[in-house]
């Protein structure tokens, strides 16, 4: 590259790759900062003025935040599952995307914790969940596992930061990055263990609510069936989210960053897992209908109040389940870029819808016969503070892409 | 202690007798006047706002629901259902719905009294317990409590006001039990008498629809009332095992109070 046309910060940019001029990058960051500021104001309103600034109520103690939280963590499952496939199952080709999966995971898990920090009524007491832990609560299990796993993700992210051109020159950091890479299989294994538990525990959060027949599921030992379904759905959609963000990044960068065969491996695995999930979810649904009927809650009572009609069930399992599963299973459709993106979008939307159903719709269904259905729709404060983390995540990803050697195939695919 | 409680053991344990406090509400007597709600709010320093039109954010520990048989005039009938905390006992492998889910051990089932407690200063407002409770018993403090000028002088010194961002609920006026227990101990007794511990709503009800006492003690009125053929509990089939019973001679009321009425017809008398 002509030194005169090199970006002002080229000394920080990995060797052999092309990045835009610094002024364009800064403009992009400034653009992201706009909605981020709006989200920050919304978050400060929640902390300063209390949660009455939202549309949550005593009927809907859980709303957009909790649904988004569960969804984001499921989408972030691409990090641990790609690590599992790369370091434990030893699918070597995935080394070309595992770095990016980790960064996406860091963003997702940081977002989830950030959203929880806004959602709780007394944020300064958030640490009570660790100090006064109730071991019977699924939420306790979630809190411990997510916090530990976030630390694991940070440790996985650290060597990438240390591999920045300038940082890597320092002997100590060079050695540290090397040793962390050496330890990565062990760290990934710890991450997998923790992730299975917290993904499952998130499923347990609605699944143990036996006072809510819509959410309640029987299960194995202390774990309701949703425990296992949440794990499976997370690992079925996590890789799709990784693919989706990679494709979006490629769109912004206007170049290929990962070879097609790597993407194809993730898409194929995702499709097969989605099929398995759909089979088990269908069995669970049939059993749930039978069990709910026994406690006097027929299926029709669950879908009696719009907008939560039967279309919800059909959309979740059919349009956002069966269709992406078919598209991901068939090689021809999977290898068509546009169709692959469509499949990934549907798969990820399906997960979000499932998490919304298991949390918000569970509360929407009246349980006492003389209860009235009350609707809930999030207000701008909830949307802005949720999307705050999308913009913050975009900034983290943008910075990482610009300054860290994330994509090992980038040079090969885009020779200067 | 838990086993002793579940087996109905009358032996003295810890600092006193084992109770199982509960309530029986005669819906045929309830006029829906709301005195129980007012008494509860005054007794327990429940915060209120100038504008309480949004009932989904109002703080009620005791809430009176109005139900109708849905028939046109002249067959229309209505009934009122006062609903305090059910103080669910749970059964089998199910704990009290809200107790088992609370991540910070804020809420607890007291096996000496059968009362489900709430530690406000430990609650960090995750609201999981609210999601777990099918009776909408638990309410969240969406605002800081602001009392009209001078009213803070009339707050009950035995009950701590709650700050914003925490969940609260009916405690069966537990502070009254503590006071009654202290009195009994100073008088050399180990047992609190029925008339010594009554909830505020029970005492305020002008129709005498609410009866409160030890569900295990044959000398207490609730002991017999709960076994009435017309007695039922809300959402009984879910297995929450509530300690608030309702009585009504009207079959449609009993049916309207549960998602099913499997036992309906067994000795029940219809209006």
β-strand partners of B232: B246
State the pLDDT at residue B5. 41
Tell me whether residues A370 and B102 touch, CB distance under 8 A.
no
What is the enclosing helix (H) or strand (E) of B66?
strand B63-68
> How confident is residue A2, by pLDDT bands cut at 50, 70 and 90?
low
Judge whether B246 and B22 are in contact, CB under 8 Å. Answer: no
Cis peptide before A144 (omega within 30 of 0): no
Q: Is there a contact between B260 and A296 if contact means CB atoms under 8 Å apart?
A: yes
Gap from B239 CA to chain A (nearest CA, Å):
8
What is the rounded CA–CA span in Å between residue A234 and residue B49?
43
Q: Smallest CA–CA separation between B75 and chain A, in Å?
A: 19
Give the pLDDT band (50/70/90) at residue B6. Answer: very low
Counted residue by residue, chain A has a size of 416
- Angstrom CA distances, B138 to A29, B62, B85, B128, stand at 44, 10, 8, 10
Q: Is the pLDDT of residue B268 over 80?
A: no
Q: Which of A331, A110, A354, A103 is nearest to A232 (CA)?
A: A354
DSSP secondary-structure letter at B115?
Answer: P
Q: Is the Cα torsion angle B152, B153, B156, B160 positive or negative in sign? A: positive
Asked if pLDDT for residue B183 goes beyond 60, the answer is: yes
Strand partners, B140: B167
Confidence of residue B270 (pLDDT cuts 50, 70, 90): very low
Smallest Cβ–Cβ distance between B130 and the set A61, A140, A213 belongs to A61
Instruction: Kindly report the nearest CA distance between residue A233 and chain B, in angstroms.
Output: 23
The DSSP element (H or E) to which B99 belongs, if any, is helix B97-101
Please state, for a pLDDT cut of 70, what percent of chain B lies above it.
Answer: 89
Structure tokens at A405: 């050697």
Distance CA A202, CA A76 (A): 13
Q: Taking 60 as the threshold, does the pLDDT of residue B10 lie above it?
A: no
Inside any domain, residue B59:
yes
φ and ψ at B159, to 5 degrees? -125, 125
pLDDT of the residue at B237: 84
**B73 close to B53: Cβ distance less than 8 angstroms:** no
For residue B11, pLDDT over 60 is answered with: no
B268, part of any domain: no
Query: What DSSP state is assigned to residue B21?
Result: E
* pLDDT winner (highest mean) among A9-13, A147-151, A217-221: A147-151
CB–CB contact A129 B124 (8 Å): yes
Minimal Cα–Cα distance from B40 to chain A, Å? 19
pLDDT in tens, B186-205: 999 989 999 999 999 999 99
In degrees, rounded to 5, the angle at the alpha carbon of residue B81 between the alpha carbons of residues B76 and B86 is 155
Asked whether residue A163 carries a pLDDT value surpassing 70, the answer given is yes
pTM for the whole thing? 0.91
Query: What is the rounded average pLDDT of the residues B177-190?
Result: 94
The predicted structure's pLDDT at residue A378: 96
Residue B264 belongs to some domain of the structure: no
Mode of pairing for the β-strands spanning B167-168 and B139-140: antiparallel
Per the CB < 8 A criterion, the answer to whether B238 and B134 are in contact is yes
Q: How many domains does chain B have?
A: 1
Range of the domain at B219: 2-256
Contact B165 A51 (CB under 8 A): yes
DSSP assignment string, chain B = -HHHHHTT----BTTB----EEEEEETTT-----HHHHHHHHHTT----S----GGG---SSEEEEEE--PPTTS--EEEEEE-------BTTB--HHHHH-TT--EEE-TTT-PEEE-TTT-----HHHHH-TT---EE--S---PPTTGGGGS-TTSPPPPTT-EE---SSHHHHHHHHHHHHHTT-SS--GGG---HHHHH-TT--EEEEETT-TTSHHHHHTTSTTEE-TTGGGT---SEEEE-S-HHHHHHTSS--TTTTSS----
DSSP symbols for B203-261: HH-TT--EEEEETT-TTSHHHHHTTSTTEE-TTGGGT---SEEEE-S-HHHHHHTSS--
Question: For the packed helices A64-75 and A225-253, what is the interaxial angle rounded to 10 degrees?
Answer: 70
* pLDDT mean over A400-408: 93
**Assigned token pair, A10:** 């080229």
B22 inside domain: yes
User: Residues 37 to 66 of B: which have CB under 8 A from any A CB?
Assistant: 54, 56-58, 65
pLDDT-derived band at B70 (thresholds 50, 70, 90) equals confident
Mean pLDDT (whole number) for A66-76: 95
CB contact B139 to A (< 8 Å): yes
Round to whole Å and give the CA distance between A178 and A173.
8
End-to-end Cα spacing for chain B:
43
**Confidence class of residue A111 from pLDDT cuts 50, 70 and 90?**
very high
Inter-chain residue contact B134 with A121, CB threshold 8 Å: no
Q: Quick check: A330 and A276 in contact, CB under 8 A? A: no
Query: Residue A283 has what pLDDT?
Result: 95
Chain A partners within 8 Å of B56 (Cβ): 57-60, 374
> How far apart (Å, rounded) are the C-alpha atoms in residues B251 and B229?
11
Q: Per the domain annotation, does B266 fall within a domain?
A: no
Residue A319's pLDDT is: 95
Q: Which residues contact A158 (CB under 8 A, 6 or more apart)?
A: A176, A177, A180
Tokens of B183: 């009195």
- Peptide bond preceding A307 in cis form (omega within 30 of 0): yes
On the CB side of A344, how many CA atoms lie within 13 Å of its CA?
A: 27
Domain-embedded: residue B82: yes
CA distance A141 to chain B (A): 9
Q: Is the pLDDT of residue B210 over 90?
A: yes
Q: Which residue of A has its CA nearest to B256?
A: A369
Cα–Cα dist A319/A18, whole Å: 40
User: What is the per-residue pLDDT for B12?
Assistant: 47
pLDDT at B16: 65
CB contact under 8 Å between B67 and A209, yes or no, is no
Closest CB from B97, B122, B127 relative to A61: B127
Q: What is the CATH number of the domain that holds B164?
A: 3.30.70.20
Alpha carbon dihedral B25, B27, B33, B34, in 10-degree steps, equals: 40
Of the residues A70, A122, A144, A375, the best mutation for testing chain B's interface (the one with the most B CB atoms within 10 Å of its CB) is A122
């Amino acid at each position: 590259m002509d030194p005169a046309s090199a970006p002002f910060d080229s000394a920080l940019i990995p060797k052999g790759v092309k990045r835009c001029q610094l002024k364009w990058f800064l403009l992009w960051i400034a653009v992201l900062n706009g909605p981020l500021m709006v989200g920050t104001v919304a978050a400060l309103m929640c902390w300063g003025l209390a949660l009455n600034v939202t549309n949550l109520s005593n009927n809907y103690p859980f709303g957009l935040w909790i649904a988004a939280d569960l969804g984001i963590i499921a989408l972030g499952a691409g990090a641990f599952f790609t690590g599992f496939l790369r370091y434990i199952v030893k699918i070597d080709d995935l080394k070309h995307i595992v770095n990016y999966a980790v960064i996406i995971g860091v963003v997702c898990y940081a977002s989830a914790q950030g959203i929880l920090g806004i959602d709780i009524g007394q944020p300064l007491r958030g640490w009570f969940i660790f100090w006064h832990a109730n071991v019977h609560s699924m939420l306790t299990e979630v809190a411990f596992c997510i916090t530990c796993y976030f630390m694991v993700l940070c440790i996985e992210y650290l060597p990438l930061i240390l591999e920045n051109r300038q940082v890597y020159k320092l002997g100590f950091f060079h050695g540290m990055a090397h040793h962390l890479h050496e330890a990565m299989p062990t760290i990934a294994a710890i991450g997998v263990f923790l992730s299975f538990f917290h993904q499952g525990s998130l499923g347990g959060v609605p699944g143990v609510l036996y006072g809510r027949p819509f959410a309640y599921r029987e299960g194995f030992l202390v774990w309701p069936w949703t425990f296992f379904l949440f794990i499976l759905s997370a690992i079925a959609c996590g890789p799709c989210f990784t693919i989706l963000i990679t494709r979006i990044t490629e769109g912004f960068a206007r170049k290929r960053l990962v070879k097609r065969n790597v993407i194809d491996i993730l898409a194929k695995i995702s499709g097969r897992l989605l099929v398995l999930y759909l089979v088990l979810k269908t069995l669970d649904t049939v059993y749930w209908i039978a069990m709910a009927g026994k406690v006097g809650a027929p299926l029709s009572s669950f879908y009696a109040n719009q907008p939560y009609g039967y279309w919800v069930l059909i959309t979740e399992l059919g349009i956002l389940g069966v269709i992406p599963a078919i598209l991901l299973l068939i090689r021809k459709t999977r290898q068509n870029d546009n169709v692959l993106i469509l499949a990934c979008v549907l798969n990820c939307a399906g997960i979000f819808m499932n998490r919304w159903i298991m949390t918000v719709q569970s509360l929407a269904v009246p349980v006492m016969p003389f209860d009235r259905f009350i609707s809930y729709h999030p207000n701008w404060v909830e949307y802005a503070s949720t999307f705050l983390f999308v913009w913050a995540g975009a900034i983290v990803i943008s910075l990482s892409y610009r300054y860290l050697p994330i994509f090992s195939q980038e040079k090969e695919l885009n020779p200067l | 202690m838990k086993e002793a409680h579940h087996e109905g053991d009358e032996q003295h344990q810890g600092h006193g007798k084992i109770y199982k406090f509960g309530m029986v509400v005669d819906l045929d007597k309830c006029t829906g006047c709301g005195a129980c709600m007012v008494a509860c709010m005054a007794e327990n320093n429940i915060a209120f706002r100038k504008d309480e039109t949004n009932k989904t954010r109002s703080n009620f520990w005791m809430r009176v629901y109005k139900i109708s048989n849905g028939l046109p005039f002249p067959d229309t009938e209505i009934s009122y259902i006062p609903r305090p905390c059910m103080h669910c006992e749970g059964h089998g492998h199910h704990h009290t719905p809200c107790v088992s889910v609370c991540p910070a051990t804020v809420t607890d089932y007291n096996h000496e009294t059968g009362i489900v407690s709430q530690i406000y200063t430990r609650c960090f407002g995750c609201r999981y317990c609210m999601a777990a409770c099918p009776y909408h018993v638990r309410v969240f403090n969406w605002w800081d409590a602001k009392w009209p000028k001078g009213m803070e002088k009339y707050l009950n010194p035995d009950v701590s006001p709650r700050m914003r961002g925490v969940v609260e609920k009916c405690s069966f006026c537990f502070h009254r039990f503590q006071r009654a227990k202290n009195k009994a101990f100073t008088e050399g007794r180990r047992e609190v008498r029925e008339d010594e511990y009554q909830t505020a709503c029970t005492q305020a009800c002008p129709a005498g629809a609410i009866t409160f006492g030890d569900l295990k003690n044959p000398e207490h009125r609730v002991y017999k009332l709960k076994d009435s053929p017309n007695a039922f509990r809300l959402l009984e089939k879910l297995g929450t095992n509530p300690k608030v019973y309702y009585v009504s001679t009207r079959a449609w009321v009993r049916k309207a109070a549960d998602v099913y009425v499997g036992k309906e017809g067994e000795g029940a008398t219809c209006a």
